[in-house]
Amino acid sequence: MTEEKDKGSEFDSPDSEDEITQASPDEEVIEEVHQGKVDRIEALEAKVKETEGKYLRAVADFENYRKRVQKEKDEVGQAVSERLLKEFLEVKDHLELALSHSQGAADVKNLRDGVTLTLKQLENFLKKHGVEEVQPLGEAFDPAFHEAIHQEESAEYRPGSVVHVYQKGYLMKGRLLRAARVTVAAEGSGKNMKERK
Protein backbone atom coordinates (compact mmCIF):
# COMPACT_ATOMS: atom_id res chain seq x y z
CA MET A 1 0.00 0.00 0.00
CA THR A 2 2.80 2.30 0.49
CA GLU A 3 3.41 2.14 -3.20
CA GLU A 4 -0.20 3.12 -3.85
CA LYS A 5 0.16 5.98 -1.43
CA ASP A 6 3.23 7.09 -3.26
CA LYS A 7 1.41 6.93 -6.55
CA GLY A 8 -1.53 8.82 -5.12
CA SER A 9 0.68 11.45 -3.66
CA GLU A 10 2.35 11.75 -7.02
CA PHE A 11 -0.94 12.92 -8.47
CA ASP A 12 -1.86 15.12 -5.53
CA SER A 13 1.24 17.33 -5.48
CA PRO A 14 2.49 19.04 -8.58
CA ASP A 15 5.95 18.03 -9.48
CA SER A 16 6.52 20.19 -12.57
CA GLU A 17 7.26 23.92 -12.62
CA ASP A 18 4.97 24.46 -15.66
CA GLU A 19 1.96 23.59 -13.59
CA ILE A 20 3.01 26.12 -10.90
CA THR A 21 3.52 29.09 -13.27
CA GLN A 22 0.42 28.65 -15.38
CA ALA A 23 -2.11 31.44 -14.82
CA SER A 24 -5.71 30.70 -14.30
CA PRO A 25 -8.15 31.58 -17.12
CA ASP A 26 -9.54 34.52 -15.09
CA GLU A 27 -6.10 36.04 -14.67
CA GLU A 28 -5.47 35.74 -18.43
CA VAL A 29 -8.71 37.59 -19.20
CA ILE A 30 -7.83 40.32 -16.70
CA GLU A 31 -4.37 40.65 -18.23
CA GLU A 32 -5.84 40.87 -21.75
CA VAL A 33 -8.35 43.52 -20.65
CA HIS A 34 -5.60 45.45 -18.89
CA GLN A 35 -3.34 45.27 -21.96
CA GLY A 36 -6.27 46.37 -24.16
CA LYS A 37 -6.80 49.40 -21.93
CA VAL A 38 -3.11 50.25 -21.99
CA ASP A 39 -3.10 49.99 -25.78
CA ARG A 40 -6.20 52.16 -26.00
CA ILE A 41 -4.64 54.80 -23.71
CA GLU A 42 -1.45 54.81 -25.78
CA ALA A 43 -3.49 55.18 -28.99
CA LEU A 44 -5.50 58.06 -27.47
CA GLU A 45 -2.32 59.78 -26.25
CA ALA A 46 -0.85 59.49 -29.76
CA LYS A 47 -4.07 60.91 -31.23
CA VAL A 48 -4.00 63.81 -28.74
CA LYS A 49 -0.37 64.57 -29.68
CA GLU A 50 -1.24 64.42 -33.38
CA THR A 51 -4.28 66.70 -32.89
CA GLU A 52 -2.24 69.10 -30.76
CA GLY A 53 0.42 69.26 -33.49
CA LYS A 54 -2.22 69.96 -36.14
CA TYR A 55 -3.75 72.66 -33.93
CA LEU A 56 -0.40 74.35 -33.33
CA ARG A 57 0.39 74.26 -37.08
CA ALA A 58 -3.05 75.72 -37.87
CA VAL A 59 -2.54 78.52 -35.33
CA ALA A 60 0.91 79.28 -36.77
CA ASP A 61 -0.44 79.19 -40.35
CA PHE A 62 -3.27 81.54 -39.42
CA GLU A 63 -0.89 83.95 -37.68
CA ASN A 64 1.38 83.95 -40.75
CA TYR A 65 -1.66 84.51 -43.00
CA ARG A 66 -2.85 87.41 -40.80
CA LYS A 67 0.60 89.03 -40.90
CA ARG A 68 0.85 88.55 -44.68
CA VAL A 69 -2.60 90.07 -45.28
CA GLN A 70 -1.79 93.03 -43.02
CA LYS A 71 1.51 93.58 -44.84
CA GLU A 72 -0.22 93.44 -48.25
CA LYS A 73 -2.92 95.82 -47.00
CA ASP A 74 -0.27 98.25 -45.77
CA GLU A 75 1.60 98.01 -49.08
CA VAL A 76 -1.57 98.67 -51.11
CA GLY A 77 -2.45 101.62 -48.88
CA GLN A 78 1.07 102.96 -49.26
CA ALA A 79 0.96 102.59 -53.05
CA VAL A 80 -2.41 104.39 -53.26
CA SER A 81 -1.17 107.18 -50.99
CA GLU A 82 2.02 107.58 -53.02
CA ARG A 83 0.08 107.77 -56.28
CA LEU A 84 -2.37 110.36 -54.90
CA LEU A 85 0.34 112.46 -53.28
CA LYS A 86 2.43 112.40 -56.44
CA GLU A 87 -0.48 113.94 -58.35
CA PHE A 88 -0.98 116.56 -55.62
CA LEU A 89 2.70 117.50 -55.89
CA GLU A 90 2.04 118.58 -59.49
CA VAL A 91 -0.72 120.89 -58.24
CA LYS A 92 1.68 122.32 -55.64
CA ASP A 93 4.33 122.85 -58.32
CA HIS A 94 1.88 124.83 -60.45
CA LEU A 95 0.78 126.99 -57.53
CA GLU A 96 4.42 127.77 -56.69
CA LEU A 97 5.07 128.58 -60.34
CA ALA A 98 2.06 130.93 -60.46
CA LEU A 99 3.26 132.71 -57.32
CA SER A 100 6.81 133.06 -58.62
CA HIS A 101 5.55 134.60 -61.88
CA SER A 102 3.40 137.11 -60.00
CA GLN A 103 6.21 138.55 -57.85
CA GLY A 104 6.86 142.17 -58.69
CA ALA A 105 4.23 142.18 -61.42
CA ALA A 106 1.58 144.87 -61.35
CA ASP A 107 -0.63 142.78 -63.62
CA VAL A 108 -2.30 139.93 -61.77
CA LYS A 109 -3.74 138.42 -64.95
CA ASN A 110 -0.86 135.94 -65.22
CA LEU A 111 -1.35 134.93 -61.59
CA ARG A 112 -5.07 134.47 -62.14
CA ASP A 113 -4.45 132.40 -65.28
CA GLY A 114 -1.93 130.21 -63.44
CA VAL A 115 -4.22 129.62 -60.49
CA THR A 116 -7.14 128.90 -62.87
CA LEU A 117 -5.06 126.26 -64.67
CA THR A 118 -4.01 124.74 -61.36
CA LEU A 119 -7.62 124.60 -60.17
CA LYS A 120 -8.62 122.92 -63.44
CA GLN A 121 -5.85 120.36 -62.94
CA LEU A 122 -7.07 119.66 -59.40
CA GLU A 123 -10.68 119.28 -60.61
CA ASN A 124 -9.52 116.79 -63.28
CA PHE A 125 -7.60 114.85 -60.63
CA LEU A 126 -10.66 114.65 -58.38
CA LYS A 127 -12.92 113.66 -61.29
CA LYS A 128 -10.48 110.91 -62.27
CA HIS A 129 -10.83 109.46 -58.78
CA GLY A 130 -14.65 109.56 -58.81
CA VAL A 131 -15.10 112.78 -56.83
CA GLU A 132 -17.92 115.09 -57.90
CA GLU A 133 -19.37 118.28 -56.48
CA VAL A 134 -22.75 118.43 -54.76
CA GLN A 135 -24.56 121.43 -56.34
CA PRO A 136 -27.44 122.13 -53.93
CA LEU A 137 -28.29 125.77 -54.74
CA GLY A 138 -32.07 126.05 -55.19
CA GLU A 139 -32.66 122.39 -54.25
CA ALA A 140 -34.65 121.23 -51.23
CA PHE A 141 -32.50 120.87 -48.13
CA ASP A 142 -31.41 117.23 -47.65
CA PRO A 143 -29.64 116.46 -44.33
CA ALA A 144 -28.01 113.42 -45.94
CA PHE A 145 -25.99 115.72 -48.25
CA HIS A 146 -26.26 119.21 -46.73
CA GLU A 147 -25.27 120.78 -43.42
CA ALA A 148 -27.42 123.80 -42.54
CA ILE A 149 -25.42 126.49 -40.80
CA HIS A 150 -27.90 129.35 -41.19
CA GLN A 151 -31.53 130.05 -42.06
CA GLU A 152 -32.80 133.24 -43.66
CA GLU A 153 -35.81 134.73 -45.41
CA SER A 154 -35.57 134.64 -49.18
CA ALA A 155 -37.79 136.20 -51.83
CA GLU A 156 -36.12 134.04 -54.47
CA TYR A 157 -36.42 130.51 -53.03
CA ARG A 158 -39.16 128.36 -51.50
CA PRO A 159 -39.02 127.53 -47.76
CA GLY A 160 -36.63 124.66 -47.04
CA SER A 161 -34.57 125.32 -50.18
CA VAL A 162 -30.84 126.00 -50.22
CA VAL A 163 -30.30 129.73 -50.81
CA HIS A 164 -26.53 129.98 -50.36
CA VAL A 165 -23.61 127.53 -50.43
CA TYR A 166 -20.75 128.41 -48.06
CA GLN A 167 -18.71 125.33 -48.75
CA LYS A 168 -19.25 122.86 -51.57
CA GLY A 169 -20.04 119.26 -50.79
CA TYR A 170 -18.49 116.28 -52.57
CA LEU A 171 -19.44 112.71 -53.42
CA MET A 172 -16.92 109.99 -54.10
CA LYS A 173 -18.30 107.27 -56.35
CA GLY A 174 -21.82 108.07 -55.15
CA ARG A 175 -20.96 108.16 -51.42
CA LEU A 176 -20.83 111.37 -49.41
CA LEU A 177 -17.26 112.56 -48.95
CA ARG A 178 -18.13 115.94 -47.44
CA ALA A 179 -21.53 117.56 -46.84
CA ALA A 180 -22.20 120.96 -48.40
CA ARG A 181 -22.47 123.74 -45.79
CA VAL A 182 -25.50 125.83 -46.71
CA THR A 183 -28.05 128.48 -45.78
CA VAL A 184 -31.67 127.35 -45.95
CA ALA A 185 -34.72 129.49 -46.81
CA ALA A 186 -36.89 130.08 -43.74
CA GLU A 187 -40.66 129.65 -43.50
CA GLY A 188 -42.44 132.52 -45.22
CA SER A 189 -39.81 132.70 -47.95
CA GLY A 190 -40.66 132.66 -51.64
CA LYS A 191 -43.48 135.22 -51.47
CA ASN A 192 -42.13 137.16 -54.43
CA MET A 193 -41.30 134.11 -56.56
CA LYS A 194 -44.36 134.50 -58.75
CA GLU A 195 -43.80 138.24 -59.12
CA ARG A 196 -40.19 137.65 -60.25
CA LYS A 197 -41.22 135.08 -62.88
**Do 104 and 180 belong to one domain?**
no
Whether 40 and 68 share a structural domain? yes
Residue 146 and residue 124 in one domain: no
What is the span of the domain harbouring residue 148? 132-197
pLDDT at residue 194 tops 50:
no
Q: Report phi then psi at 55, rounded to 5.
A: -60, -45
CA atoms within 13 A on the CB side of 191: 6
Are residues 67 and 160 both part of a single domain?
no
Asked if 108 and 159 sit in the same domain, the reply is: no
Q: Measuring CA to CA, which residue among 137, 176, 143 is closest to residue 157?
A: 137
Same domain, 29 and 120: yes
Of the candidates 104, 129, 154, which is a domain's last residue?
129
Q: Indicate if 155 and 109 belong to the same structural domain.
A: no
Rounded to whole angstroms, how far apart are CA atoms 116 and 195? 38
The predicted-structure confidence for 69-78, as pLDDT tens digits, reads as follows 999 999 998 8
Are 165 and 120 part of one and the same domain? no
CA distance to 60, 61, 75, 188, per residue, from 66 (Å): 10, 9, 14, 60
Q: What are phi and psi of 183, to 5 degrees?
A: -105, 140
What phi, psi does 167 have (nearest 5°)? Answer: -145, 125
**Strand 180-185 relative to strand 146-152: parallel, antiparallel, unpaired?**
parallel
Residue 112 and residue 144 share a domain = no
The tally of domains found in the chain comes to 2
State the DSSP code for 13: S
pTM for this one? 0.52
Looking at the fold, whether 55 and 141 belong to one and the same domain comes out as no
List the CATH number of the domain containing 189.
2.30.22.10
What does the pLDDT read at residue 81?
78
Edge-to-edge strand list for the sheet holding 162-167? 146-152, 180-185, 162-167
Tell whether 51 and 112 lie within a shared domain: yes
Same domain? 46 vs 123: yes
pLDDT tens-digit readout, 7-63: 444 445 454 444 555 657 778 778 888 888 889 999 999 999 999 999 999 999 999
Is the pLDDT at 5 greater than 60? The verdict is no
